[in-house]
Chain A
């Protein structure tokens, strides 16, 4: 789904069971490969920096592309703040108490992470996107993502507190429909950036470009498993095979892409 026009576009989408690693990460160091395969979770690399996240249909992704300078943001970190604060306000409007933006790229509810942001600066635009845990399976997340001891020892995470993330549904104590989240985030961002909302679906040209990128980049192990050759000697054969399996799209994913291709052709 796409909202806004002119100076900015806001998009929402969901992915089923996939770990998305950051542009500068090495997959083998970020995930438990055996757990990935055992749980049927795939892996892909995005084009923005930041850390590994787990997506399932209980996770909502949002992405804002904005003209550079909109809302005074000229660097990606400045747009992190605007989007992060808008998402925190949106969560507040849905009834979550204690939601706030935390630099550099997190949104938390009472000390627990509920959304992480990533993004990059392009020539005349800035792109910021985020993943929001609405009702994700945190047990799977905990099994597939490796959290380094170093990260746990940072003062932000008290040693005794093993729980680092929370879902919006846990915080609210009720089920939340995707539509509620889409509306809350687009309203909060529209107000912050002074934009009107105008809902639309992706255009044919956008879908064609998305499919080209999927075929040439995001479905390919050469992109998803970049740098793996460097650490290959420290992996077991089982881990390596599991990573190679995970770095290919699922048959369901391929089916969805084929359907879109057929609808574009017809």
Chain B
């Protein structure tokens, strides 16, 4: 089955950028990469979130909710982006998958 990577990004006005890449295998999402130029305290928590997202498996329809659920559980204060920016980045990644 073919593997496709689709990405979407969102820059918070006057803030930082978040990028979401989804790995699509058939009609499933098998892994999500969250990256960007934001800051966090403690930074290690972001790495734990990224590891969890890279292992995430979900249907395309449920991808948005699954990513946001993980992001909301981030055990760190994040500077430069907000949950609405992650949501928009996921939306843009999904839009480019169509």
> Do A and B assemble together?
yes
Among B5, B10, B31, residue most surrounded by chain A Cβ atoms (within 10 Å): B5
**Which of the residues A47, A155, A233 comes within 8 Å of B13, measured between beta carbons?**
A155
| Shortest beta-carbon distance from A83 to chain B in Å | 14
Residues of B within 8 A of A47 (CB): 43
Select from chain A the residue with minimum beta-carbon distance to B53.
A230
Residues of B within 8 A of A205 (CB): none
Residues of A within 8 A of B15 (CB): 104
Residues of A within 8 A of B47 (CB): 24
**Which of the residues B5, B43, B79 comes within 8 Å of A231, measured between beta carbons?**
B5
**Which of the residues A29, A120, A227, A234 comes within 8 Å of B39, measured between beta carbons?**
A120
* B66-96 interface code vs A (CB 8 A; 1 in, 0 out): 0000000000010110000000000000000
B41 x A75 contact (CB < 8 A): yes
B36 close to A (CB within 8 Å): yes
Binds B, one of A11-19, A36-44, A146-154, A196-204: A146-154
A92 close to B (CB within 8 Å): no
* B2-39 interface code vs A (CB 8 A; 1 in, 0 out): 01010101110111110101010000000101111111
Q: Which 10 A-B pairs have the closest CB atoms?
A: A51-B37, A49-B39, A26-B35, A230-B33, A234-B5, A121-B41, A150-B11, A150-B9, A154-B11, A22-B37
For the complex, would chain B's binding face be called helix, strand, loop or mixed by DSSP majority? Answer: strand
B residues with CB within 8 A of A = 3, 5, 7, 9-11, 13-17, 19, 21, 23, 31, 33-43, 46-47, 50, 54, 77, 79-80
A-B interface contact total, Cβ < 8 Å: 96
Residues of B within 8 A of A227 (CB): 33, 35, 50, 54
What is the CA–CA distance of A51 and B16 in the complex, to the nearest angstrom?
9
A23 close to B (CB within 8 Å): yes
Q: A150-B10, A155-B13 are in contact. Are A104 and B79 (CB under 8 A)?
A: yes
What is the CA–CA distance of A24 and B19 in the complex, to the nearest angstrom?
10
**Which of the residues A76, A148, A231 comes within 8 Å of B21, measured between beta carbons?**
A231
Residues of B within 8 A of A154 (CB): 11, 13-14
What is the CA–CA distance of A22 and B19 in the complex, to the nearest angstrom?
13
